[in-house]
Amino acid sequence: MAHRDRVMLAADIAEFFYQEADLLDERRFEEWLGVFTEDVQYFMPLARNMRHDEIGAEFTSDKEIAWFEEGLVTLQQRVKQLATGVHWIEEPLSRVSHLITNVRVLSDETCALGREVRTSARILVYQNRNETETVLLAGKRLDTVRDTTDGWRVCRREVRLDQNVLMAKALTTFF
């Protein structure tokens, strides 16, 4: 793929990610579920402190423990739970800002399900609740997006946070 085409593709996918962030920040969670394919894998491994010669094992795999490992059904259940108004950690609702930057195309391939593009991006998620509780989550997101008749859809998301101990009381925000 030519450099110009890669840059244009990255810009197109970045715009998709920015629109997704707006859905999350505006608490439009039902609409947000529409950015995923039916077969989505939504995964956040744990980070481990490793010696320099073991750095390849810094993040747990999908065969090990993770902060979450979900599919569309579980994401739908989490959204329904938030919508009840009785989710104790999200009452009152948090104010959240998702910042996404450094969107890069890692690969662009065609598979049995269509065109899939692997991307890398940096994320910063700010969460504030009850006036004084703040959480700042920074890291990297590895997404695979599929080109569908409805536009880009996320079929795999891996969130790699830069901390291995979360200081948040609960992990209720979406990435």
Q: How far is CA 130 from the centre of its chain?
A: 24
39 SS3 class? strand
Q: Tell which phi-psi region holds residue 27, choosing left (phi > 0), alpha (psi between -120 and 50) or beta.
A: left
- Give the distance between the most distant pair of CA atoms in the chain: 51
Contact yes or no for 103/13 (Cβ under 8 A) = yes
Strands 66-70 and 36-45: antiparallel
Confidence at residue 92, expressed as pLDDT on a 0 to 100 scale: 78
Q: Please indicate whether residue 160 or residue 152 has the higher confidence score (pLDDT).
A: 152
At 85, which helix (H) or strand (E)?
none
Confidence at residue 48, expressed as pLDDT on a 0 to 100 scale: 58
CB atoms within 10 A of CB 108: 15
Confidence at residue 52, expressed as pLDDT on a 0 to 100 scale: 67
Q: Please indicate whether residue 1 or residue 54 has the higher confidence score (pLDDT).
A: 1
> What is the average pLDDT score of the chain?
87
pLDDT in tens, 46-90: 665 556 666 555 555 676 677 787 999 999 999 998 888 776 677
Taking the domain 3-161, which CATH number applies? 3.10.450.50
Least confident of 4-18, 67-81, 116-130, 144-158: 67-81
Confidence at residue 131, expressed as pLDDT on a 0 to 100 scale: 80
pLDDT in tens, 83-119: 887 766 777 778 899 999 999 999 999 988 889 999 9
